[in-house]
Structure 1
Amino acid sequence: MAQSAPPPPADGNPYAQQPGTAPQPQPTDGNPFAQQPTDGNPFAQQPGAVPPPPAPFAPARSGNVALGLIVAVVAALVTAGIYGAIIGATEREIGYAAVGVGFLIGLAAGKLGGSNPVLPVVSALLSLGAVYVGQLIGVAMIMADVAKVSLSTMITEHFDLVTSGWKETADAMTFVFFAIGAFAAFSGAKKAAL
């Protein structure tokens, strides 16, 4: 069955009280926008409530900055070892590996540290260190193969030879890889924090 609409009021006012409905409470100060009682409406403004402030365009994701830094340092050490092993195995520097080093450090820092503005900068610095240490490990691996000694012996007893070997092999591309790794770390930390 269809329900019939109530008849229009006799005076032509569509806002007048309809017959058979309970009267609605009106504001006492005459302000039609004043807070109304809830009358069971869960979306109505509650008396004495303060509306929330407007949301910012991009809410900052909070995280544990200390944990982000610790994980970034661990990621830097691990990726430096992997990068060094790649250089030692291929006997050349690979740009994509430097990008991976930087991105993984930035990703670790941003995911756990949140959107703190210090994290991208620290990630870039850690990436510079990780790429450098990785290059030293790669040079040490190559030199250890040539000298027929272990890698640990080459690093602990002949570190001066390793650093001088790195200086001799460093060229413009070596420093480009530093920049690539630092940029990847900075942007990775920014993107991971979103």
Structure 2
Amino acid sequence: MSSDFPPPQQPPGGQNPYAQQPPPGPQQPYAPSPYVTPPQGGAPFNAAAYAPPAPIGAPPRGNPGLAVVAGVAAMLVAAFAYAGIMRAMAKDDGHYTEVGYLALAVGLLIGFALGKIGGRNPVLPFVGIVLALLGVFLGEMVGLSMIASHYASQAGLDISWFSMLTDHGGDVFRQWKHDFDAKSFFFLAIAGLEGFVVTRRVAN
């Protein structure tokens, strides 16, 4: 019995339509974007050369706690240097002459220690005022104790300046108040101002 249906058509060249097609050829590289600017001279991009900006509100540099410790140490050194110079300039009868640059040096040393170590901390300049005033006061108290000890030794009494300061501190303080005048106040003000200004000026 003959069929009226035509035979299936074969693809030309005897190819099998279900056979795996050969892989495509090598892909062409993408065209460069017109919005990207390549580095000049063919130099590679160095991300380390572009440091990120500092974050807003970053903590200030410096160590305020260590600065206070250094300021106290500077205050003690300056106070004893003040006392030693004060004793060296005293007369044999116990009178002494106040020298303004000693108070200036006390504030300078304390402010330098606070500012260099503590950085730009807003509290440290006020700490500089307190330590400078304390340094001048302690220097004068120790200096008066040294002068009184030397004067006592001339009278045949063996009393060290430390014993004079600790055992007779009230008498030394009364002598300090007796000698305190407008010039003494001026020197104290200079020391406090120098402690404040130098702390702010040398801060990193």
Q: What is the TM-score when the length of structure 1 is the normalising length?
A: 0.72
Residues 121 and 42 of structure 1, relative CA distance in 2, 3 Å threshold: farther
Once residues 113 and 54 of structure 1 are traced to their aligned partners in structure 2, the CA distance between those partners, rounded to angstroms, is 20
Return the offset for 1:41. 4.0
Q: Which amino acid aligns with 1:117?
A: P
The structure 2 residue matched to 1:191, chosen from 193, 197, 201, is: 201
What residue number does 2:24 align with?
A: none
Q: Which amino acid aligns with 2:151?
A: V
Once residues 100 and 62 of structure 2 are traced to their aligned partners in structure 1, the CA distance between those partners, rounded to angstroms, is 31
What residue number does 1:89 align with?
A: 88
Q: Which amino acid aligns with 1:110?
A: G
- Please give the residue correspondences for 1:121-140 in structure 2 after superposition, counting only pairs within 5 Å: 121-140=126-145
What residue number does 1:181 align with?
A: 191
Conservation of the 8 A alpha-carbon contact between 1:61 and 1:193:
no
Residues 51 and 160 of structure 1, relative CA distance in 2, 3 Å threshold: closer
Conservation of the 8 A alpha-carbon contact between 1:79 and 1:101:
yes
- Please give the residue correspondences for 1:134-173 in structure 2 after superposition, counting only pairs within 5 Å: 134-148=139-153, 149-173=159-183
Task: Report % sequence identity.
Answer: 39
**Runs of 4+, deviation exceeding 6 Å:** none
What residue number does 2:110 align with?
A: 105
Q: Secondary structure at the match of 1:144?
A: helix
What residue number does 2:37 align with?
A: 36
Once residues 125 and 169 of structure 2 are traced to their aligned partners in structure 1, the CA distance between those partners, rounded to angstroms, is 31
* Runs of 5+ unmatched residues, structure 1: 1-23, 28-33
Comparing 184-193 with 163-172, greater Cα deviation is found at 184-193
Return the offset for 1:100. 0.6
Q: What is the TM-score when the length of structure 2 is the normalising length?
A: 0.69
Return the offset for 1:37. 4.0
Q: Which amino acid aligns with 2:76?
A: L
Once residues 120 and 103 of structure 1 are traced to their aligned partners in structure 2, the CA distance between those partners, rounded to angstroms, is 12
Residues 35 and 51 of structure 1, relative CA distance in 2, 3 Å threshold: farther
What residue number does 2:26 align with?
A: none
What residue number does 2:17 align with?
A: none
Q: Secondary structure at the match of 1:117?
A: coil
Return the offset for 1:181. 0.7
What residue number does 1:116 align with?
A: 121
